[in-house]
Amino acid sequence: MHLKPGIMLAALLTMCLAIRAGNSSLLLNSFNSDREGWQAYDYNGGVAGGGNVFYPLNWEKAGGVNDSGYVWADDSQWRIDTPESPNSILAFIIYRKWVSGPAFDLREAEVSVSLRGDVLNLKGATCYFWALDQEIGTRWHYTSQPLEVTEGRWGRPLWFRLKNQESLWHRTWARTPSNPASLDEVLRTCDSYGFSFLNFSGEVTGKLSMDELGIRLNAVTHQCIGSPRPAIGEGTTDLVSVAKLGF
């Protein structure tokens, strides 16, 4: 039996993706059906002494990367988190328990995401990825990897590896300041993560959107010959997303 080159490549890619999905190393938030558990953090809801106010991200069925679904939040949904040092705005946040999922080992994981701003006034802020282990109560921001938020359009997918080196991160919060968890501890059993703003002169205003968030756990260098790095899926893999992710 002879197969056309295009069919052979598609079959090889599908096989590679199936192997990856089988070892549970792949996770994709394509946002093609809903917000997939993601929320924005409002810190205290504007009430002194309040805390832990979350708002579900807004979901749109079109308008994302290649006109796919995507999620967004704006300044009506987030608020400056003052206990953090420096103060942060946790614009996008997810706890694994919200989707009935286990904690992840994010050490050396690969991340790809598309971000977009619309009338987004950063006020000097930079966007970063962060990781939290809520059980041991420590958050680290990946400050060596600032993330570009393109204004008014979807830019290229942003790709980065979560290197397990504390010199590349900044610890912004610990429940017990005298006994914070190390970066290795947090990444090893990460149960919450997301994207935030740091180093702003005032509250960031406008709209921040996200699409095609992929995380490949325990990243390895081996790839199937001739195929791109696989898209990331949990349970199933969205083949349409292969070209969208920066893997």
Res 80: pLDDT: 95
Report the alpha-carbon distance of residue 245 to residue 208 in Å, rounded: 19
In a domain, 158, yes or no: yes
In a domain, 4, yes or no: no
Mean pLDDT of the chain: 83
In a domain, 168, yes or no: yes
Residue entry with tokens 């949990």: 234
Q: Is 160 in a helix, a strand, or coil?
A: strand
Instruction: Tell me the pLDDT tens digit for each residue of 67-100.
Output: 999 999 999 999 999 999 999 999 999 999 999 9
**Per-residue DSSP letter, 197:** E
Res 48: pLDDT: 67
Instruction: Tell me the pLDDT tens digit for each residue of 171-188.
Output: 999 999 999 999 999 999
Question: Residue 49: which pLDDT band, with cuts at 50, 70 and 90?
Answer: low
User: Across residues 137-154, what is the average pLDDT?
Assistant: 98
Q: What is the CATH number of the domain that holds 184?
A: 2.60.120.260
Q: Dihedrals φ, ψ of 195, to 5°?
A: -130, 140
List Cα–Cα distances, 215 to 153, 189, 244, in angstroms: 23, 15, 13
User: How many other C-beta atoms lie within 10 A of the C-beta of residue 203?
Assistant: 15
Q: Is 42 left (phi over 0), alpha (psi -120 to 50) or beta?
A: alpha
In a domain, 81, yes or no: yes
Element spanning 18, H or E: helix 5-22
What is the DSSP secondary-structure string of 113-141? EEEEEEEEE-TT-EEEEEEEETTTTEEEE
In a domain, 1, yes or no: no
User: Across residues 18-22, what is the average pLDDT?
Assistant: 39
User: Across residues 151-163, what is the average pLDDT?
Assistant: 97
Res 238: pLDDT: 37
Residue 150 confidence (pLDDT) above 50: yes
For residue 186, the enclosing domain spans 26-241
Name the H helices within 75-200: 183-188
In a domain, 152, yes or no: yes
User: Across residues 27-42, what is the average pLDDT?
Assistant: 97
Q: Is 10 in a helix, a strand, or coil?
A: helix
Report the alpha-carbon distance of residue 29 to residue 193 in Å, rounded: 13
Res 47: pLDDT: 63
- Of 41, 44, 143, nearest to 92 (Cα)? 41
Res 18: pLDDT: 35
pTM of the model: 0.81
C-alpha Rg value of the chain to the nearest Å? 18
Give the tokens for residue 58.
């807004």
Q: Dihedrals φ, ψ of 76, to 5°?
A: -80, -10
Element spanning 172, H or E: strand 170-174
The structural domain count of the chain equals 1
In a domain, 15, yes or no: no
In a domain, 12, yes or no: no
Instruction: Tell me the pLDDT tens digit for each residue of 101-144.
Output: 999 999 999 999 999 999 999 999 999 999 999 999 999 999 99
